Amino acid sequence: MKRMNMNKRYLIIILAAIVLLSSCNKRTQLLYINNIANENLKTPKIPEYTLKPGDVLYVQIITQDPNVSNLFNNRGMSGSVQATMFNSESGNYLYGYSVSDSGYVQLPVLGKLFLTGLTINQSRDLIQRSTEKYLTDGIAVVKLLSYKVTILGEVKKPGVYTNLKDNLTIFEGLGLAGDLTDYAQRNNVLLLRQTSDGVKTVRVNLQDKNLLFSEAYYLVPNDILVVEPRKGKLFSMNSPNIAIYLSIVSTTLLMINYLMK
């Protein structure tokens, strides 16, 4: 009888372990911003990136006369060319305009313009004013083609991503990478940011609402996000197999217990 009672205790313990091991990750480990209520939050001011040597710009001058426009866009900016440019690394550099080491961009007709230290909006305004020397209906379109962020580690699609919008939040960046995996450590993501003094490291907690007010909320060009795995990832990956083994053991013990009655 004592042996049977001991076997029952073992069975209870083993079955409880099976339930724990085969269950999904804790819900709180998979949440973003899990300490937020229904409230209006004021996010930080969107940082305005200033151009640096090596940046690549998309510049197009649009007028009512396509022939006149072509004089200012002598690289043949057809629809197919623009699609190639926006969707490939080589297209960016073949058809974009690079900021030189001395800070200038060389544009057709308009010549050399000093853009280093200016924001995209300021650069657009400068180019727009330059076109007014020649045109009355010219419209300048300027985008930063070298707005790239690198996302590595526990994401579904790690890689280098190009952003063609004026800004990019950290959650939008992770969305480009297909979101985090279930094994990602959401409360300790590493952000590497290039500054004039070198590389700045920032630890980011994706589960804390204070992220919304921090410098890490908006990604800037050349940012690198490294998402580390949670502790116990290997155990979590193997837990289904462990659960199967424990299930076999528990079934065996049940049979032994039944036969010994």
pLDDT in tens, 90-132: 556 667 899 999 999 999 999 999 999 999 999 999 999 999 9
Which percentage of the chain shows pLDDT scores above 90? 51
pLDDT in tens, 15-48: 555 555 545 445 566 677 877 777 777 777 888 8
pTM of the model: 0.71
d(CA 131, CA 72): 9
Contact in structure between 204 and 170 (CB atoms under 8 Å)? yes
Of the candidates 53, 33, 56, the residue with the CA atom closest to the CA atom of residue 43: 33
Strand partners, 49: none
Contact in structure between 190 and 226 (CB atoms under 8 Å)? yes
pLDDT in tens, 172-209: 999 999 999 999 999 999 999 998 889 999 999 999 98
So what's the pLDDT on residue 31? 76
pLDDT at 87 over 90: no
Q: Which helix (H) or strand (E) holds 218?
A: strand 218-219
So what's the pLDDT on residue 215? 92
Alpha carbon of residue 153 to chain centroid: 11
pLDDT in tens, 204-243: 999 998 999 999 999 999 999 999 998 765 555 545 565 5
So what's the pLDDT on residue 22? 47
Q: Which residues contact 110 (CB under 8 A, 6 or more apart)?
A: 72, 127, 130, 131
Domains assigned to the chain:
56-144 (3.30.1950.10), 147-227 (3.10.560.10)
DSSP state of 106: E
- Amino acid code (one letter) for 136: T
